[in-house]
Amino acid sequence: MLHSIQNTISAIGNPARTVGTAGGAAIDMGGQAVGDMTANEGTLSQLRNQNKELTEMLTQAEEYRLEVQRLQDLLKLKDTYKLEGVSGRVIGHSSDAWSQTITLDIGTSDGVQSGLTVMGPSGVIGQVIRVTGGSSTVRLLTDPNSGVAAMIQSSRAEGIVRGSLAGLLYLENISANTAVSVGDVVLTSGLGGSFTRGLLIGTVVRVDGQTGDDNRTIVVSQNETPRSLEEVIVVLSAATSDNGSTQ
Amino acid sequence: MTPLNGKIRLLVGAAVALLLQLILAPNIHIFYAAPNFVLCFTIAVAVCNPRGRGYLMPFLLGLMYDFMNTGTVGAMAFTCVAITFISSLVIRVFDNEEKLLVLFVIIISVFLAELIYGLLMIACGTHVSFADALLHVVLPCGLYDTVLTLLIYPLVMRFVLKQKEQTEMTIIDSPLD
């Protein structure tokens, strides 16, 4: 009973409190306006500098926020696939038109070795091809010299995903009798041991030709846009489930 | 300009080209086209100084380019030497350094160099067809590099080979050869 009365009175008093708060704010603003009008050049200059500093701090804080978000995505990926890996920052891109590579700021001192799989937040992006003490070069899947043993998740049909100069991925060596349709998920098959098995590569976005046609062209859209990545994971090991996929 | 001065200018120019290739080139791709400052500088020097016959600098520049990238080691080195020989030979044969001929030689040299490099890459196992290479790399990169070489050419003429006649002597007698 007492609580009800208390709540009712409190509810009635809330608009008044709001008006009071607004009034207080108006008074504060008025005071501030008077202060601003009477401010001298020195104060204004100081405020401008302060404003500049605050803008810089805000920009930096936003950068940190975005970085934390990206790193959280990578951590989520590590949990999803039960990966053991080391994360690195992208510090460079290839400078010629014939290759598509990125350079990472991690090397042998961080446990990175040539041949290891590299992942972005939502899929495989390439393989380490060159390592030094503090840096490593990753050949992206889209590089024309890249070739990944892959399989279609639904049919388990195996083939090879190759890069091209145009930056597209082609799924080749798939049996002509295997039905492939747009939307099929493509994973690494682990065949040959060069890439960790069961990691997501992308989805089929175009199939030129019919089932039974030996010259079918299957285009795969990569799950990642490596060019825009800032942090990646070099996979040191992955837990593999009984059916072969890393889930 | 003393011979030593000429050599230093040439070395500084080569170093700048390498730095631009390392730092600037990855960030100024236009669709499929990537700039090749090393090739542009090599061609500009060869055209500016056709009687120089200095092949060590193009070779070393090309080799550095090969080491910086993941392509076949030696391919760009060979291309730079070959294109230096061809472009300087054409200007020497015509015995004419008129602007129109220089322009013509630069355009042909750049596209030829891109073609030579492309053929070498395919021959060395890059998994692309000749038509793809022509369409996606040779032509767009050739166009990009032609524009860059035409921009670099007056700079090389003005700052690297400051006094042409003396520099010719420098490069002919250069211990770099």
DSSP 3-state of A93:
strand
Collect all residues of chain B within an 8 Å Cβ-Cβ radius of residue A164. 128, 132
Chain A CB within 8 Å of residue B139 CB: no
- A178: confidence class by pLDDT, cuts 50, 70, 90: confident
Residues of chain A with C-beta less than 8 angstroms from the C-beta of B66 = none
Touching B: A residues 71-100, CB under 8 Å: 92-99
Among B75, B85, B147, B78, smallest CA distance to B111 is for: B147
Q: In terms of pTM, does the model score above 0.90?
A: no
User: How far apart are the C-alpha atoms of B134 and B143, rounded to whole Å?
Assistant: 12
Calculate the CA dihedral of residues B20, B22, B24, B30 and round it to 10 degrees. 110
- Within an 8 Å CB–CB cutoff, is residue B110 touching chain A? no
Q: Identify the residue among B70, B115, B137 best suited for mutation to test binding to A, counting A beta carbons within 10 A and taking the highest.
A: B70
Only one residue has tokens 């083939």, namely: A159
H helical segments located in chain A: 2-38, 41-81
B126·A101 Cβ contact <8 A: no
Judge whether residue B53 has pLDDT over 60: yes
Residue whose C-alpha is closest to residue B31's, from B117, B130, B141? B141
pLDDT bracket for residue B176 (50, 70, 90): very low
Residues recorded for chain A = 247
Range scoring the smallest mean pLDDT among A20-34, A103-117, B31-45: A20-34
pLDDT-based confidence at residue A112 (cuts at 50, 70, 90): very high
Distance from CA of A243 to the nearest CA of B (A): 32
Cβ separation A98–B140 shorter than 8 A = no
Chain A with chain B: Cβ pairs closer than 8 A: 63
Distance of CA B38 to the CA centre of its chain: 5
Give me the pLDDT at residue A244, please: 45
Say if A217 is an interface residue toward chain B (CB within 8 Å).
Answer: no
Predicted ipTM of the assembly = 0.79
Q: Is A107 helix (H, G, I), strand (E, B) or coil?
A: coil
Mean predicted confidence (pLDDT) in A123-138: 91
Distance between CA atoms of residues A77 and A71, nearest Å: 10
Q: What is the mean pLDDT of residues B140-160?
A: 91
Question: A157-188 burial string, b = 16+ CB within 10 Å, else e?
Answer: bbbbbbbbbebbbbbeebeeebebeeebebbb
Nearest to A94 among B33, B69, B126 (CB): B69
- Closest approach of A138 to chain B, Cα-based (Å): 10
pLDDT (0 to 100) of residue A105: 92
Contacts of A190 (CB under 8 A, 6+ apart): A149, A196, A197, A198, A244
Eight-class DSSP state of B51? T
Amino acid identity at B133: A
State yes or no: pLDDT of A238 exceeds 90.
Answer: no
- Residue A246's pLDDT is 47
* Residue found under tokens 């008093």: A13
Q: Measure in Å the smallest separation between the Cα of A190 and chain B Cα atoms.
A: 21
The residue among B81, B16, B20, B89 whose CA lies nearest residue B49 is B89
Q: How far is CA A110 from CA A4, A42, A106, A233, in A?
A: 64, 52, 6, 12
Mutation for B interface: A90, A91, A96, most B CBs within 10 A: A96
**What pLDDT, in 10s, does the model give residues A75-101?**
777 777 777 889 899 998 888 889 889
CA distance B26 to chain A (A): 4
- DSSP symbol at B173: T
Poorest-pLDDT segment among A5-14, A96-105, B135-144: A5-14
Q: Per DSSP, what are the bridge partners of residue A85?
A: A235
The 10s digit of each residue's pLDDT in A186-216 is: 999 888 777 888 888 999 999 888 777 777 8
Q: Does A147 touch chain B (CB under 8 A)?
A: yes
pLDDT band at A16 (very low <50, low <70, confident <90, very high): low
Q: How far apart are CA B3 and CA A243, in angstroms?
A: 72
> Furthest-apart CA pair in chain A: how many Å?
85
Is the model's pLDDT at B64 over the cut of 90? yes
Q: Does A130 touch chain B (CB under 8 A)?
A: yes
**Residue among B80, B111, B128, B139 with most chain A CBs within 10 A, to mutate:** B128
How many angstroms away from the CA of B138 is the closest CA of chain A?
A: 9
In A, minimum Cα distance to B117 occurs at A98
Q: A93 φ, ψ to 5°?
A: -125, 165
pLDDT at A28 over 70: no
Identify residue A206 by its one-letter amino acid code. R
Average pLDDT of the segment spanning B95-117: 89
CA A187 from centroid of its chain's CA atoms: 18
pLDDT reported for residue A155: 87
Element (H, E) at A126: strand A123-131
3-state secondary structure of B159: helix
Specify the pairing of strand A169-172 against strand A117-120. Answer: unpaired
Q: Which two tokens stand for residue B120?
A: 């070498």
d(CA B84, CA B55): 7
Point out the residue among A95, A162, A165 whose CB comes nearest to the CB of B69.
Answer: A95
Q: Give me the helix-helix angle, B164-172 and B3-19, nearest 10°.
A: 90
Is pLDDT of B70 > 80?
yes
